[in-house]
Amino acid sequence: MNILLTGSSGFIGSKLAKNLLDNQFNLLTISKKKNIKVSTNHLFVDLNNFARSKKKIKNFNPDIVIHLAWQSLPDYSFNIQMINLEISTLFFEFITNETKCKKIIVAGSCWEYGKYKGACIESKDNFTNSYFSWAKKSLYEYLNFICKKNLIDLIWLRIFFVYGPNQRSSSLVPNIANLLLSKKDIYLNNPYNRHDFIYIDDVVDAFTNIIDLKLKSGIYNIGTGKTYSVLKIAKILNYKINGNKVLKYKTNQNKQNMDRNNFWADINKSRKIFKNINLIDIEEGIQKYLENL
């Protein structure tokens, strides 16, 4: 089976590429970072200008395309999101017209729900509250249309808060861990916000499972269905690093007066995806993260 993977040098993509190769899939990877090569069959391509690589992609003729590429994060500005939307739509126009691809798997985001409290259910209406969520939802609508037209399965994964080794240093877990390890002051902007954290290995296993699963086209949540506060994450990290030493941190928010985020993935629809995955709990996941530093 031929699998084309975009964004293969990223946090999820690099781990997924290794997993797919370990499982003996015939893999073509695409990234624009020339200092990183994740497979022997790799294209250093900026999807904003991939014309010179069209012939190789067409000759590879993927059965499945996994699309992770989304440039310039964490810049969520209008201009950047417009660029990402245009890049992705032109890329998939080529894929659907020039290859035999029969399944497309795309990394969406929990931010598409536009909500801050309660369970996120795929079938419920949601609202757009950022250029990022607008661009992601616009891409989904475009793909939903062309995939139905071309009889292609579309699996859109709304991924919640992924963490693990090689994550961007400014993300929550690596940022707090680095501050603790360097004995620097901890500042928590939103200590009582609660999020659905999922370990990178579980996300990679979910993508890999979907390759062979017979799933109905649509949106699927990738999360654990549980939430933990930012403060809880900091306390777990502190205990793993400093033992029983009390965590000291600064914040400008009052516990009583905060309108807190507390939203999570409803994973009932995704149970088939997670069937053979024993989801890693937060304490074990943080321990695994620290062991890989």
The predicted pLDDT at position 42 comes to 82
- Which CA distances in Å does 110 have to 73, 81, 117, 169? 15, 16, 12, 21
* Cβ–Cβ under 8 Å, residues 215 and 273: yes
Judge if 72 and 97 occupy the same domain.
Answer: yes
Judge if 91 and 168 occupy the same domain.
Answer: no
Q: Is residue 41 part of a domain?
A: yes
Q: Is residue 273 part of a domain?
A: no
Judge if 119 and 206 occupy the same domain.
Answer: yes
Q: Is residue 187 part of a domain?
A: yes
- d(Cα 154, Cα 61) in Å, to the nearest integer? 17
The pTM score is 0.94
Please give the full DSSP string across the chain, using - where no structure is assigned: -EEEEESTTSHHHHHHHHHHHHTT-EEEEEES-TT---SSSEEE--GGG-GGGHHHHHHH--SEEEE---TTTT---HHHHHHHHHHHHHHHHHHHHHS---EEEEEEEGGGG---EEEE-TTS-----SHHHHHHHHHHHHHHHHHHHTT-EEEEEEE-EEE-TT--TTSHHHHHHHHHHTTPPPB-SSTT-EE-EEEHHHHHHHHHHHHH----SEEEEES-S--EEHHHHHHHHHHHHHTTPPP--B-S--TTT----EEEE--STTTTTTTT--PPPHHHHHHHHHHT-
The predicted pLDDT at position 259 comes to 62
The predicted pLDDT at position 39 comes to 66
- Which CA distances in Å does 108 have to 67, 231, 233, 244? 9, 26, 24, 39
Q: How many domains does the chain have?
A: 2
Judge if 14 and 139 occupy the same domain.
Answer: yes
Judge if 19 and 46 occupy the same domain.
Answer: yes
Judge if 235 and 210 occupy the same domain.
Answer: no
The predicted pLDDT at position 196 comes to 98
Mean pLDDT in runs of 10 for the chain (293 residues)?
95 96 94 69 84 92 98 93 97 97 98 91 89 97 98 98 97 98 94 96 98 97 97 98 94 68 96 95 98 94
Q: Is residue 169 part of a domain?
A: yes
Judge if 28 and 152 occupy the same domain.
Answer: yes
Q: Is residue 131 part of a domain?
A: yes
Judge if 107 and 216 occupy the same domain.
Answer: yes
Q: Is residue 13 part of a domain?
A: yes
Judge if 189 and 83 occupy the same domain.
Answer: no
Q: Is residue 275 part of a domain?
A: no
CATH, residue 146: 3.40.50.720
Judge if 218 and 241 occupy the same domain.
Answer: no
Q: Is residue 93 part of a domain?
A: yes
- d(Cα 154, Cα 144) in Å, to the nearest integer? 7
Can you give the residue range of the structural domain that contains 127? Answer: 2-161+197-222
Judge if 16 and 128 occupy the same domain.
Answer: yes
Judge if 9 and 42 occupy the same domain.
Answer: yes
